[in-house]
Amino acid sequence: MRDEGKEKALNTAETILNAITVDEAIGIFRRTESWIIEILQTSTEDFLALNNQFKIYHRESKNISENVLRIIDSLTDRQLTTTFDQLRSIVEGFYQLSEQFTSQIETYEVELKKSFHKIENLRISYQNFRQVVISSPLLLINEDRRNSLPETAQKNIEQIKRILSEIESLLNDFVEKAQENTLFLSDIKKDNYNHLQRLNDNIEIGFELFYRKHKEANQFSAALKEQAESNATYVSNIITNLQYHDIIRQKIEHIQRTHHDIISELEKFLNEASDEAMIHNKAKTYIKIRDISGLQAAQLIHANNQYQLAIQEIFKGLEEIGNNMIAINSMCENLVGKSGQSKKYYLENIIENLHGALQYNQKLMDLTHQINERTHALKAIVNALNERNGQLFDLTQNYFTSQAQTIPQTQTDTSYQEWMTLNHECTLHQQQILNISQELQQKINTLYQQIDDFLKEGNVLESFQKVSLTIPDLINLLQKSIKDVNEFLYLNSSISQKISSEIQQAVFQVKYYELFENNCGKIINELNTLNIRLNYGYELTAKEREENLKLLKSRYTMASEHLIHDQLSQMDNIAEVLSGNSEKIIEIANQKSDPDDDNLELF
């Protein structure tokens, strides 16, 4: 970067004193002042707003945890548990069937939803296939230097379009029927318990529902508590990152105060006579500016990096909190959904409706048959789709093969090779379509087999024993427990939805993220300019400026800052510094620095 002449100039008082005028130096520090003020104001505004938001989130997170504990206490009440244990054997057979049916519905629904992804993948593959085939006539037209296709090619294209249109119709039919099935399954899950009550099934189903909720509450307790505690952890981490702003602000305010002091020193030189003492003090101030500007440029680089990292950590925490809130809300809605529909009639007619379970068993079978028929309809569509695939692929292959024979193969003309490339691309898309179609076929076959297996084993209900007439007390316990649980679940659901929505808004309320980085960049550029001019007496290339900034970042630490200032304040003869002692000062300072000083002790 520097030759011998430049190296010699580096250590001369003339280089230091002539590198920049006092007015220029004052102008630079005054410009940085406005940027620093803007950084302090805007970043403080953002962090204070976020800090206020997350104080609320932290409190609400604790409320959720407390509500979860209350829910668990309500569902694991000793008296209620004991009473249920006494009646467990009565509904055991029904519970097994209901559990099997519910599991079957949930599994079917999950697998059915997965088929949507296969259809969308198929649709994309068909679109890619169509694009290759439909664009191929352009190559034939260009080859023959004419404006229309050969009649056979045109006929093939029209046939391909027709089959693709039929395939598109089949895909739409599949999606429509699959959506109907999904809604059908949703209706089953949503209306199932109301239907059970209409079938005078309150005693067995009411017990089964509450027992399931009791069991699920025990299973979910650890997950709910873990989610709530996770929220508290993320909130705590966010608050920790919010506190970084105070450290960053203190460092920037320190830089601001240093600039004020330097401006005051520089302004004195404007009014003083240019004697030896003034020149001595001016050179000393310039050396301090040189070293401080380099140090502060490096400090701002670290401060900006830590600021950006803190914001990123806050955003990451926001996202995780939002995800956890959604998870908690989902689990709460699941529990509410299993009790909300039966809350009004729960076990009220338990004695007179003993035989309702048999009717429910028949209803289960009817629903299962409907699911089976709906699955068969989907299977028929997939079979038709496979049939169209065979027609499409045969027709396409004949089209490419026949038209390839009409294209001359010469060394100078690449049309034939381009045509074969299109053929290859089309073959790849065909294989992709076949693979996805086979996966879809396998998934539908699996669904069909699951329903068929359930049909063979479904009629497993047995006669229930008569229910004791002493269960009214149990009904009262159940109603009280349901009331308490629903109350706390509703509170948690409301809190989760509210906080999740507010978190999404809080992300967009951080307005000055880029401004902080841009202003830091402008200040660093000014300080780097000062350091370069006072070091070398002239401007450097962009590459040299970047290297100088990297050098500053690696050489200057907090220890070197203090030692440089101490040594400069103790020197009487400025020639000591100009003769090279500044390099020794930095070297001594770095020797005394800890490895962590490279981080400038910001955090």
Element (H, E) at 145: none
User: pLDDT at position 284, please?
Assistant: 84
Structure confidence at residue 477 as a pLDDT band (50, 70, 90): low
Q: How many CB atoms lie within 10 A of CB 366?
A: 10
Q: Which residue has the tokens 């649980």?
A: 485
Contacts within 8 Å (CB) and 24+ apart, 587-593: 588/563, 589/557, 589/559, 589/560, 589/561, 589/562, 589/563, 589/564, 590/555, 590/557, 590/559, 590/560, 592/559, 592/563, 593/557, 593/558, 593/559, 593/560
Give whole-number Cα distances, 4 to 8, 9, 11, 158, in Å: 6, 9, 12, 80
Structure confidence at residue 8 as a pLDDT band (50, 70, 90): very low
197-233 residues labelled b (16+ CB within 10 A) or e (exposed) = bebbbbbbbbbbbbbbbbeebeebbeebeebbebbbe
507-543 residues labelled b (16+ CB within 10 A) or e (exposed) = eeebebbeebbebbeebbebbbbbbbbbbbbeebeee
For 107-115, what is the mean pLDDT? 79
The Cα–Cα gap between 389 and 339 comes to 48
SS3 track for 111-127: HHHHHHHHHHHHHHHHH
The most confident of 101-105, 127-131, 342-346, by mean pLDDT: 127-131
Q: How many CB atoms lie within 10 A of CB 461?
A: 19
Q: Which residue has the tokens 């808004």?
A: 505
pLDDT surpasses 50 at 501: yes
The Cα–Cα gap between 505 and 346 comes to 41
Query: Which has the minimum average pLDDT: 266-275, 410-419, 446-455, 591-600?
Result: 591-600
Give whole-number Cα distances, 341 to 336, 363, 567, 571, in Å: 9, 18, 81, 86
Q: Do you know the residue count of the chain?
A: 603
CB 25 within 8 Å of CB 539? no
How high does pLDDT run on average in the chain?
69
pLDDT surpasses 80 at 471: no
Query: Which has the minimum average pLDDT: 35-39, 55-59, 598-602?
Result: 598-602
283 closest CA partner among 588, 523, 579:
579
pLDDT higher at 565 or 102: 102
The Cα–Cα gap between 597 and 562 comes to 12
User: pLDDT at position 340, please?
Assistant: 45
Element (H, E) at 7: helix 4-10
The Cα–Cα gap between 261 and 384 comes to 84
Q: How many CB atoms lie within 10 A of CB 315?
A: 16
